[in-house]
Structure 1
Amino acid sequence: MNMKSARLLLTLFIVIGVVSCSSISSVRVAYQYDPGAEFTSFRSYDWFPVPRNNARYALIVKQIKGAMDRQLAAEGFEMMPGDPQLLIALHGGIQARLDYNEWEYIHETYEAYAETRRLDFMKYTDDMLIFDFIDAKTGQLIYRATVTAFISIEPSPEEIEDKINEAVRQVVDKFRQISFSVSSGDEARN
């Protein structure tokens, strides 16, 4: 193998490694919404009360709410305790997971077939957040975003903060896109 081929092969392995790692640590957002809701009429919000009986996640909840408050403020929403147009409810769960890949190699020899197996195990957590946006006047759910993030078993504070910020950014981006598409559809019908 010449030097040029070796460099090309090394570059290919690095790219595959980076893509694999980025997909493992990704944040995914799925959403549903009420197409009949007047999304453009909502400009204020408050948080639906979270039960205080679980102090274990108090810091994470505070980080999530802080990230959402900043993102919504950047979109022109105002936090209005007592008289909001939207209530945002936060639900979540964390589950430890174990995944594995099985590799099987079969080598043909003159005498017999040799079979080698290798198992690669990976521990991670499957963290899920659900954001419900509720019309405060009617009590109707108008938007639900379900966020799934794959985080290492012992994440650093920076990794947690990055995942929270990315998740919240995607949730608000989807809400903004829905608001725009619903209002554009309304204008097209008028």
Structure 2
Amino acid sequence: MKAFAIAVLATALVACTTTPTVHTDFDPSANFASFKTYTWAMKPQGGSPLVTQRIVDGIDARLAARGWTQSPNGDVALAAHIVTSQRQTLDTFYTGSNMGGWGWRGGGWGGGMGMGSSTTTVRTYDVGTLVVDMFDAKSKQAVWRGTASATVPSSPDRVNATVEAGLDRLFASFPPGSAPAK
């Protein structure tokens, strides 16, 4: 029973630490210093409209902090998408320490076997991914892409914290070539 309680606690701690995994890529020939305005070509859709609005507001705030302004005919067109998928893990917990092992057994060296048991639990969880693409509005060429993925928490407060953490990490070194944001 003690092993089961420890396993549940460990699983709960892992579920609480959903640090988003972030990847960015950009066109090295793009002149980000020339971009000052942007327009939303496609706002993210799906999921909670409140979370979607927080994502849009969060991106707007981070771009404004870098001197960009939203404009109907911006230098850069933004397209954002939200994708969710279900994943599963198998957690196996062993009880009893009767696995034996090799060693001296009265009459000589040998292996021992004992009775032990295991319990396997299937855990299903959702993973959310935000994809943000930026295109040069004049050339229609892609200039930047960022993705942030994390396990979707069950409480709205944790969802909002995960969104904020993902956006912070996504735009930490934006625009490319700039010093990381603090």
Q: Report TM bin, short chain.
A: 0.7 to 0.9
TM-score (norm 2): 0.74
Name the residue aligned to 2:173: 174
Are the counterparts in 1 of residues 43 and 56 from structure 2 also a CA contact under 8 Å? no
Shift in alpha-carbon separation, 1:121–1:85, aligned structure 2, 3 A: same
Aligned pairs, number? 160
Deviation at 1:165, TM superposition (A): 1.3
Residue aligned with 1:64, SS = helix
Deviation at 1:49, TM superposition (A): 2.9
Aligned equivalents of 1:125 and 1:45: distance in 2?
A: 32
Shift in alpha-carbon separation, 1:108–1:139, aligned structure 2, 3 A: closer
Greater helix content: 1
Question: Does 2:56 correspond to 1:34?
Answer: no
Name the residue aligned to 1:127: 128
- My pick for the range that moved more, 63-72 or 95-104, is 95-104
Are the counterparts in 2 of residues 40 and 179 from structure 1 also a CA contact under 8 Å? no
Unaligned runs of 5+ in 1: 1-12, 182-190
- My pick for the range that moved more, 29-38 or 166-175, is 166-175
Aligned equivalents of 1:70 and 1:108: distance in 2?
A: 57
Aligned equivalents of 1:122 and 1:179: distance in 2?
A: 41
Shift in alpha-carbon separation, 1:108–1:168, aligned structure 2, 3 A: closer
CA deviation vs aligned residue, 1:32-59 (integer Å, no higher than 9, x gap) = 21111111211211111348xx675433
Unaligned runs of 5+ in 2: 1-5, 106-111
Superposition pairs for residues 12-91 of structure 1, below 5 Å? Answer: 21=14, 24-50=17-43, 57-81=48-72, 83-91=73-81
Shift in alpha-carbon separation, 1:108–1:28, aligned structure 2, 3 A: closer
Shift in alpha-carbon separation, 1:131–1:60, aligned structure 2, 3 A: same
Deviation at 1:121, TM superposition (A): 3.5
Aligned equivalents of 1:80 and 1:100: distance in 2?
A: 49
Residue aligned with 1:138, SS = coil
Name the residue aligned to 1:164: 163
Deviation at 1:108, TM superposition (A): 4.2
Question: Does 2:89 correspond to 1:99?
Answer: yes
Which of 1 and 2 has greater Rg? Answer: 2
Aligned alpha-carbon RMSD (Å): 2.9
Superposition pairs for residues 109-120 of structure 1, below 5 Å? Answer: 112-120=113-121
TM-score (norm 1): 0.71
Aligned equivalents of 1:87 and 1:38: distance in 2?
A: 15
Deviation at 1:17, TM superposition (A): 5.4
Deviation at 1:98, TM superposition (A): 2.2
Deviation at 1:150, TM superposition (A): 0.9
